[in-house]
A = this chain, B = another copy of it.
Amino acid sequence: MSSEQTIAALCRKLGLRITGPRRVIMRVISESSDHPDVVELHRRVVAIEPTIALATVYRTVSLLREKGILERHTFGDRRARYETVPREHHDHLINIETGDVVEFQSAEIERLQEEIARQHGFTIISHRLEIYVKPIQKTRRSRQSGE
């Protein structure tokens, strides 16, 4: 999702009407590189156009999610956070000591997931893999290469 004309084009492609609120909401989303929740999105939206209702933001994000434009995450808390769908799927290594997040991809793991799902008679809709880690300690012995 990107600039002004493409938002209109996107709406048209999705069969959605091009409305003022949607223009603003989509623009805010496209300019957000973090993972805002709906209230936060609404905050940013009303900073531009104060009349836009919270419910409209809710409706728009779920619409965009249905259409595959947005991804919904639910981290620790119970509020949903949104992110534009990355063009390449990735999973996360979370450093529990620092909170840092490292993205990674593994075609091999993806393949194994497909295999497991198929063995159970399912097809994968989506998945979530989070690996909680800490830095390797160097004890008396081995050091690690790389990194």
Contact = CB atoms under 8 A, between A and B. Distances in A.
A134 B125 contact: yes
Given A112-B108, A116-B104, A130 B127 contact: yes
Interface string A69-103: 00000100010000000000000010110000010
Contacts of A108: 112
B127 A131 contact: yes
Which bucket holds chain A's interface residue count? 35 or more
Given A127-B129, A131-B127, A121 B109 contact: no
Report the copy number of this chain in the oligomer: 2
B132 A125 contact: yes
Contacts of A93: 116-117, 120, 122
Interface of A: 74, 78, 93, 95-96, 102, 104, 106, 108-109, 112-113, 116-137, 144, 146-147
28 contacts: A74-B74, A74-B78, A93-B117, A95-B122, A96-B125, A102-B120, A104-B120, A106-B112, A109-B109, A109-B112, A109-B113, A112-B112, A113-B129, A113-B131, A117-B131, A118-B136, A121-B136, A122-B133, A122-B136, A123-B133, A123-B136, A124-B132, A125-B132, A125-B133, A127-B130, A127-B131, A128-B128, A128-B132
